[in-house]
Structure 1
Amino acid sequence: MGEIEIIPFEAGFRQAVIDLTIDVWTPIFAKTKREVPGFVFEAFYPDGWAARQKQDVGHLLDSEPANIWLAVKNGRLVGFLGLRFHDQDQMGEIYIIAVAPQYQGQGIGRKLMQFAQERTAEMGLSMLMVETIGDTGHAPARRAYEAFGFEEWPVARYFKKL
């Protein structure tokens, strides 16, 4: 059984990253759609969440490939991470992280977070941040972040239909 490697993004993995994103978020967005106000979901995803996700992730891969890291096992993509640095806040930010459904629960997400932590420390920054939604679909992510040692800072975001 092969070891997990974390490598810089390579363009040959572009479609695999997008496909993995859709696989990971399909069950999550099913719950999100049921739990957020309909007008909010429709405003964010007028063409559907998958179309928006493909567009957003594709843009990230094209515009900031140096910030994307891939978890690869035996040449196959099993997860990925987007990591930005905010010097003025002394902070690294995990702005996207995903592990293929069939590889979840095997420590790959933890390995990606550990990688992000080490890179952030190497940059001389003092903290690492990750953000997610409070719905039930994202509960496993919140548990993983808390198990890794992240502390929640509650944020209130309000929407009003016009």
Structure 2
Amino acid sequence: MDIEIRDIRGDDRETLLELSLRAWEPVHASLREALGAVLYDRMIPDWRVSQRTAVADAIDDGETLVRVALREGEIAGFYAVRIRSEEDMGEVTLLAVDPDHQRAGVGVALTGHAVDWIRDQGMGVAMIETGGDEGHAPARRAYEKAGLAPLPIVRYFQAL
């Protein structure tokens, strides 16, 4: 597994924005199926816009650390992490792996790197949240391989 993780650079921005759309497309298809079209469309009217905004906000936020993974010389994924000192916790707020690099250990490497960084900041807990739907299954596998323990939580929604 030849994966290098480095700080984000200014010219990485558009690559990460586009990568996030490719990575989360199957996730949003799964969410739409799980929630139903009416509810999903009310909750997430345009997932591409909200996804790009979330990634851009993380990149621009001075309190969020963003790092990228390189595999075979290409950007293969990234993570964003924030420290929540008052809770003795670091939270991985975003993690994405380009579909062309999935199942190659990139997600596990990114997760492990983020957890190590959180530990190095003196935090006692690392946290990452993901969905329980089929589209998030690869993320759950990567997080568990990296040593994180799941806490099942169920949220219920209804279109009104």
Q: Is this a same-fold pair by TM over 0.5?
A: yes
Q: Given that residues 108 and 145 in structure 2 are in contact (C-alpha distance below 8 angstroms), is that contact kept between their aligned partners in structure 1?
A: no
Counterpart position of 2:105? 107
- The letter of the residue matching 1:30 is A
State whether structure 2 residue 126 is matched by structure 1 residue 122: no
Counterpart position of 1:6? 5
Q: Distance in 1 between matches of 2:63 and 2:121?
A: 18
- SS of 2:53's equivalent in the other structure is helix
Quote the offset at 1:86 in angstroms: 1.1
Deviates more, 1:122-131 or 1:58-67: 58-67
Deviates more, 1:102-111 or 1:72-81: 72-81
TM-score (norm 2): 0.89
Q: Given that residues 9 and 66 in structure 1 are in contact (C-alpha distance below 8 angstroms), is that contact kept between their aligned partners in structure 2?
A: no
Counterpart position of 2:138? 140
- Aligned length in residues: 160
Q: Distance in 1 between matches of 2:146 and 2:71?
A: 22
Q: Given that residues 8 and 66 in structure 1 are in contact (C-alpha distance below 8 angstroms), is that contact kept between their aligned partners in structure 2?
A: no
In structure 2, the gaps of 5 or more residues are none
- The letter of the residue matching 1:56 is A
Cα distance 1:154–1:3, how it changes in 2: closer, same or farther (>3 A)? closer
Counterpart position of 1:63? 61
Deviates more, 1:73-82 or 1:12-21: 73-82
Counterpart position of 2:150? 152
Quote the offset at 1:44 in angstroms: 2.6
Cα distance 1:145–1:66, how it changes in 2: closer, same or farther (>3 A)? closer
Q: Distance in 1 between matches of 2:137 and 2:106?
A: 17
State whether structure 2 residue 37 is matched by structure 1 residue 32: no
Mapping for residues 44-59 of structure 1, pairs under 5 Å: 44-46=43-45, 48-59=46-57
TM-score (norm 1): 0.88
Deviates more, 1:48-57 or 1:72-81: 72-81
Quote the offset at 1:154 in angstroms: 2.0
- SS of 2:131's equivalent in the other structure is coil
- RMSD between aligned residues: 2.0
- SS of 1:67's equivalent in the other structure is strand
**Cα distance per residue 1:20-72 (max 9 Å; x no partner):** 011111122112111114343122322x2112211221222222485111112
Q: Distance in 2 between matches of 1:71 and 1:103?
A: 10
Q: 2:93 aligns with which of 92, 95, 105?
A: 95
Q: Given that residues 64 and 81 in structure 2 are in contact (C-alpha distance below 8 angstroms), is that contact kept between their aligned partners in structure 1?
A: no
Q: Distance in 2 between matches of 1:39 and 1:87?
A: 39
